[in-house]
Structure 1
Amino acid sequence: MLKTRYVAATIGLLIMIFIAVLFFLPNLQVEKATKGNTYTESVFDQSKVTTVDITLADEDLDSILDNPSEKEIVNADVTIDGETVKNVGFRTKGNLSLNSVVQMGDSDRYSWKIDFDYYQEDQDLHGLKKLALNNNYSDPTYMREYLSYELMDKMGIATPGHSYMYVTINGKEWGLYLGVEAIEETFLNTNFTDGTGDLYYPDGTGSDLKWISEDIGDYTGLNLKTNDNSDQSAMIKLLDSINNGGNLEEVLDVDEMLRYFAANTALVNLDHYQGDKKHNYYLYEENGVFSILPWDYNMSFGGYSGGGGRRAGASDQETADQNDGTAVEGNDDDTKQDDKEVLGWAPNMNGGGMMDMSSNFMNESNINFSIIEPVSGTALEERPLLNALLSNDEYREKYYDYLNDIATDFFAEENMTAMTTEISTLITPYVKKDPTKFYTMDEYTEATSGKETLVDFAVQRAESILAQLSGDLVVEAETESSMGGGAPTIGDDANAGHEQQPNMGGGENGAVMQPPDMDRGGNGAPPGIDGNMSQKGAGNSSSSKDTIILSSVLLLLLIGAMAFAHFFKRRGKKG
């Protein structure tokens, strides 16, 4: 018969194995997900400006430049920091920015897309399959998109790799770009435990996520990017839950969504789901649960609502001619907008650059963008994903917590100054020699170190967020009916003669959504990041079914072993 000490030792060993597996399993899963992919460090090295040299046939380049809106894919060789990948797909990319550059007439500074696996399915660069080169359109600082991705990353959102890259094409300098990892299968495998779920890029009919019917074919703008044979039943369940009532936690990574919308609201990024275009985001489903992924932030920090201006050196007549351009490809089927608005053109009263952000991005509407009803050019009820989240008291409080964290940490003057100074030191020599830049060096210098900078925006935006959280500032949302209004009221008399704060449309018991009377010193940090917003590791974006199953099996084994020990002990006593 077994001795008691052997049984006790066995039980102790099982307990140790159980604890060790629970502790180390998440890290093992991350290693599995990212094995063989080193591009996040080797390609997107943020400590330097990476060189990207693109070589293609002269006739292919001429064809692209003659018809950039066609997005023709041609064969090219790409050398990144001395490492060459041959036979890749190369084309223009973008919608608003692409067509706006086309309208300039004298600029070829397009954004570009490189598909390393377009002609050879198994080809990549350290695991990277696709690379976007963004032209920093409408941003004299060159920093808005970079900083936005940094915030998303710090908030624990699965964020594409990004770093600055200096581009040449056939030996000709094309200028300083922001390199961004494309959101596709490689990104999913790197950032999620499974990585094989349905990925959507909503842009068009249904991209507002409003309920149409149970037929997925009616949502022509949802744009499934992976798993062509998926029945998309998970998407229908999501749409049903957020529009018609359901358990959100069954269909959403709720906490991740709250962090995302808090960051997007703080950034006043309105060329997005929260604005009138309802695009520039991804949805990823894994095991029936959806996450939201960030994309396209060159018009964050209030850049979209601020409109723009004419390009440097353009005459009044040229600007008027540009304003007669055609509507942007890819806009929602059932909306027709003024071409000038779509293309982003507006007179620059200062006579400065193409899109003089510094002349209007710090207007009152941007600085005091509502955190209570955070939409512009639409109503919250028209954005059911956000509406469903903020209609829940518990979720709304978490959303407020994350806004508070951003306002007091990432947007703190010391932090923003340090980041922008470091970036400026890195990129300024490349901006100086950039032959295709949209702005003059004076405009770049003014935007990065003048009277109104991204640091100033962040500081004032943080003050507004905290004032709205405390109730000292009440702001009307910029809905379609209130565009141009929405002036905030401040102080003890804020509510005197002022409209009642908006009902969130579906809140519990029809309650009116109110900002909390706050003393927010608590830790609102999301899972995986500390109170200082340190980076969350890859693979933690959603819970793993495998982890749950394995943990359950181990727990059952442990319980069984303990039961055996108890039975053995009782038999020992009887003997």
Structure 2
Amino acid sequence: MISNKIVYSIMAGLIALFLIVLMVLPNLGVEAGNDEFSYETKLFNDKKVTTINIEINEEDWADILENPTEEEFKEAAVTINGKKIENVAVRTKGNSSLTSVANSDSNRYSLKIDFDYYDSTQSFYGLKKLNLNNNFSDTTQMKEYMSYEMMESMGLAAPEHSYMYVTVNGEDYGLMLGVEVVDETFLAKNYGSNDGFLFKPDGTGSDLKYISSDIEDYSGLNPKTNEDNLDQSNILDMIDVINNGGDIEKYIDVDNMLRYFATNTALVSMDSYQGMMKHNYYLYEEDGQFSIIPWDYNMAFGGFGMGGMMMPEGMAPSEFSKKDKPDMPSGEMQLPEGQEMPEGFKGKNMLDGLTNEEIMTDEAINFDIYNPVQGTTLEDRPLLNALLENEEYLAKYEKYLEEVSTKYFTEENVSSITKEVSATILTYVEADPSKLGTTEQFLEGVSGENSLAAFAGARSDSILKQLSGELVIEKNATKEDPVADNNAEPKEFPQNQSTQDGSGQSEKPEGMNPPEGFDPSNMPEGMNPPKGFIPDTMPEGMGPGQMRDAGENVDPVSSMKSLALTLGSLFILLLAIFGVKKFNRRGLR
């Protein structure tokens, strides 16, 4: 028989080997998994500006600049922080931002880099697509960056984002905001899988009002994944429930939605579901339940329809190239006789952006948190309405408004962020030959009485006063801005919609109703609304955006791989111990 000493020595060796496997192999697995998403740190860096050089045939680049609205991909090579990637695709991107630049003397277009367009196996440390946004209509160059920071702080899954200085064939192009595209990679990183249904609503059905039980009637839902299996999605059931009643929690991640709407309302970002264009958001269905993903914030801080923009996103002309574009009218756009542009849509050229003084308006600062829509009604935004008309959900919405206003969207916190951003990018702002504002305007956004921090302080103060009932926002019967009534009685919840009439129907915010007799078909040539546009008559803390802490790059896919590897190693150890014991009982002859 083998002595007990030998048996125990073998067992000790197996245990030691197991401990080594436990410590080493899972770490290797996590590292390998993190390589799949390591673009988080290798590309998006808050502490320094990423450098990107695009090498492209001069004729192809000239064609892009001459025909930007065609958004045609051209082959190029890109060098990012010294790492060169061949055989990638580059094109312009955008809606009104694209056409506005196309109709100006500027060539500062937002760009899309597609790493896997020609080779489906290629990526940049896991990232397949990258947007380079030109900070259109934002002289501070920080609204979108700040908005995503707020969304992340509130536990929402938001795209990675950081500043990137772009050159083309070695020539300065400009300082852009690099933003991760919401796609299968984003879903796998934030949700642990990408097997669900991703939608990017924009157009017919994007308000999520019930039309019919036929998915074909919702042409604006725009599925981005699993397009061939839409019959397996719960999207129509979700739309039915939020419009006609039912078990909303069966189809909606309520906590996720409330966090989003509270933060979006604090940011006064109305180029969104809450505005007249009902777009710039994603819906992701996982296991039959929908969560919302934030998108596109260059017009946050009251920049959409709050006193300065000319035409909403998606309503600018797009069917022409820069080379043969028609002459555009200067100054304010002229509507047919007898028709007026809605209040807030003054004929300002958006290319110049809102000046920082214009963000400090009473209309934006005192935007109503209980009727948080612009250019439409709550009834015409059933997803939001279904949440706010529920007393329990309304209380949680108020809680999140208080949280964002006291912890994150404060003057002190926003000032700290803008100053850090300025320290990182100021020299690039100064060197940027194509910037749409001035360095002085950028610095005004960093600090001072007209800065983003000043707006955040005033806005959060207004939110807290509205929550306490000290400030009640009422609508006038004229086209004037909303009036803050400091002497009004506190609102009772949840029947607190400030625009409801006796019939329970909400009125459109003053100044946003179409003029009497307005006919969209009479818009100037090339300025008609896009096809399909119809004027509008899990437990808390466990949302997908909270799966990883802000300071950690923890990949849920890697964690699952590590767990499986650990359990497998344990199983092998137990088999080995069992074999040794059995061998010991039989002995040697």
TM-score of the aligned structures, taking structure 2 as reference length:
0.74
Residues 511 and 399 of structure 1, relative CA distance in 2, 3 Å threshold: farther
Residues 504 and 289 of structure 1, relative CA distance in 2, 3 Å threshold: farther
Residues 52 and 165, structure 1, Cα contact 8 Å, conserved in 2: yes
Q: Which amino acid aligns with 1:446?
A: E
Following the alignment from structure 1 to structure 2, what is the Cα–Cα distance between the partners of residues 250 and 216?
A: 20
Q: Which residue of 1 aligns with 2:48?
A: 48
Q: Which residue of 1 aligns with 2:212?
A: 213
Report the CA distance between 1:401 and its aligned residue: 0.4
Q: Which residue of 2 aligns with 1:161?
A: 160
Following the alignment from structure 1 to structure 2, what is the Cα–Cα distance between the partners of residues 68 and 87?
A: 21
Residues 436 and 455 of structure 1, relative CA distance in 2, 3 Å threshold: same
Q: Which residue of 2 aligns with 1:255?
A: 255
Query: SS of 1:259's equivalent?
Result: helix
Structure 1 position 437 matched with structure 2 position 435 = yes
Following the alignment from structure 2 to structure 1, what is the Cα–Cα distance between the partners of residues 387 and 227?
A: 29
Measured against aligned partners, the alpha-carbon deviations of 1:87-144 in whole angstroms (never above 9, x if no partner) come to: 111100110111111122x100000000000000000000000000000111111111
Report the CA distance between 1:486 and its aligned residue: 2.2
Residues 528 and 257 of structure 1, relative CA distance in 2, 3 Å threshold: closer
Query: SS of 1:176's equivalent?
Result: strand
Report the CA distance between 1:245 and its aligned residue: 0.7
Q: Which amino acid aligns with 2:155?
A: G
Residues 29 and 539, structure 1, Cα contact 8 Å, conserved in 2: no
Q: Which residue of 2 aligns with 1:16?
A: none
Residues 539 and 488 of structure 1, relative CA distance in 2, 3 Å threshold: farther
Unaligned runs of 5+ in 2: 1-26, 311-326, 507-538, 565-589
Structure 1 position 200 matched with structure 2 position 199 = yes
Report the CA distance between 1:493 and its aligned residue: 5.8
Q: Structure 2 matches for 1:395-406, cutoff 5 A?
A: 395-406=393-404
Report the CA distance between 1:377 and its aligned residue: 0.8
Measured against aligned partners, the alpha-carbon deviations of 1:414-471 in whole angstroms (never above 9, x if no partner) come to: 2122111111111111000000001122222233234311011000001100000000
Unaligned runs of 5+ in 1: 1-26, 311-317, 327-335, 513-523, 551-575
Following the alignment from structure 1 to structure 2, what is the Cα–Cα distance between the partners of residues 238 and 538?
A: 32
Q: Which residue of 2 aligns with 1:355?
A: 353
Q: Which residue of 2 aligns with 1:239?
A: 239
Q: Which residue of 2 aligns with 1:147?
A: 146
Q: Which residue of 2 aligns with 1:275?
A: 275
Q: Which amino acid aligns with 1:502?
A: Q
Residues 528 and 321 of structure 1, relative CA distance in 2, 3 Å threshold: closer
Structure 1 position 487 matched with structure 2 position 474 = no
Following the alignment from structure 1 to structure 2, what is the Cα–Cα distance between the partners of residues 247 and 529?
A: 21
Higher normalized contact order (CA 8 Å, seq sep 6+, divided by chain length): 2
Q: Which residue of 2 aligns with 1:11?
A: none
Which of 444, 455, 458 does residue 456 from structure 2 map onto? 458
Q: Structure 2 matches for 1:393-432, cutoff 5 A?
A: 393-432=391-430
Q: Which residue of 2 aligns with 1:298?
A: 298
Following the alignment from structure 2 to structure 1, what is the Cα–Cα distance between the partners of residues 334 and 427?
A: 34
Q: Which residue of 1 aligns with 2:126?
A: 127
Which of 321, 342, 347 does residue 330 from structure 2 map onto? 321
Residues 93 and 112, structure 1, Cα contact 8 Å, conserved in 2: yes
Q: Structure 2 matches for 1:35-114, cutoff 5 A?
A: 36-104=36-104, 106-114=105-113
Following the alignment from structure 1 to structure 2, what is the Cα–Cα distance between the partners of residues 538 and 504?
A: 44
Measured against aligned partners, the alpha-carbon deviations of 1:214-265 in whole angstroms (never above 9, x if no partner) come to: 0000001110111121134411111111111111111011101100110000
Q: Which amino acid aligns with 1:239?
A: I
Following the alignment from structure 1 to structure 2, what is the Cα–Cα distance between the partners of residues 425 and 69?
A: 35
Which of 379, 382, 385 does residue 381 from structure 1 map onto? 379
Report the CA distance between 1:36 and its aligned residue: 2.2
Q: Which amino acid aligns with 2:449?
A: K
Q: Which amino acid aligns with 1:133?
A: L
Q: Which amino acid aligns with 1:77?
A: A
Q: Which amino acid aligns with 1:488?
A: A
Root-mean-square deviation over aligned CA pairs: 3.7
Query: SS of 1:229's equivalent?
Result: helix
Query: SS of 1:475's equivalent?
Result: strand
Query: SS of 1:408's equivalent?
Result: helix
Residues 366 and 463, structure 2, Cα contact 8 Å, conserved in 1: yes
Query: SS of 2:483's equivalent?
Result: coil
Q: Which amino acid aligns with 1:264?
A: N
Task: Name the % identity.
Answer: 48
Residues 503 and 511, structure 1, Cα contact 8 Å, conserved in 2: no
Following the alignment from structure 1 to structure 2, what is the Cα–Cα distance between the partners of residues 529 and 228?
A: 23
